[in-house]
Amino acid sequence: MKEGTIFRSFNSRDSREVTLRAPKWSDLDDFLYLINSLVEERAYILADKQYTRESEVEFVARLLSDLERNYRVSVVAESGDHVVGHVEVTPKTGYSHHVGTLGISIVKNYRDIGIGKELMIEAENQSKALKIEQIQLEVISLNSRAIHLYEKTGYKAIGVLPGSYKRDGEYMDCLLMVKQIPFTL
């Protein structure tokens, strides 16, 4: 996939214009802001430390390389000339090559207005090109907002890994969720 490829545009529930597209190099600073704002907010994500620009350069380089070689799906939501959300699906390998692992993040002031749902739908559509038939994800069980989004888009909880996360001495469970993606040639 070519960087910056536009998939589609829509208006969020609060009337903001949003474009879903493939990432590009110029998104680097927005990616850095996105992850670091989530860490600073202490959102229920896996990252617990601020990222450096150097580490984000490595991330974007790897991401764009994977996209160019069709090794991964990545969709950004852009609004007001900034990346406000990101979703990616990374295929597993070997006998699990038909399964992808999903991760999604959205800037705080852009949540609960339909962007997450649209990102999830577009990630599923793009995953078909990689012959992904099932998408799996892990979510911290206390992240009710994310769980609601996943359930609304058809993901089913299939299990819990107790105490998989620990923050400030508190253990949190990991909820495993899955969705079958209809695959057609």
Task: Please provide residue 49's backbone torsions phi and psi, each rounded to the nearest 5 degrees.
Answer: -135, 150
pLDDT of residue 44: 86
* Residue of 115, 126, 41 whose CA lies nearest to 83: 115
How many residues are present in the chain?
Answer: 185
**Which of 112, 107, 89 shows the shortest CA–CA distance to 39?**
107
Question: 152, exposed or middle or buried, with CB in 10 Å at 0-12, 13-18, 19+?
Answer: exposed
Average pLDDT for the chain: 95
pLDDT at position 185: 54
Q: For the whole prediction, is pTM greater than 0.85?
A: yes
Spell out where 5-155 has E strands: 6-11, 17-21, 73-79, 82-91, 99-106, 134-140
For the chain, which ranges sit under pLDDT 50?
Answer: none
Task: Quote the crossing angle between the two packed helices 144-152 and 115-127, to the nearest 10°.
Answer: 50
Show the domains of the chain with their CATH numbers. Answer: 6-137 (3.40.630.30)
CB 89 within 8 A of CB 30: no
- From the list 64, 73, 65, the residue with the least C-alpha distance to 31 is 64
Instruction: Give me the pLDDT at residue 48, please.
Output: 87
Q: How does pLDDT run across 99-143, given as a tens digit for each residue? A: 999 999 999 999 999 999 999 999 999 999 999 999 999 999 999
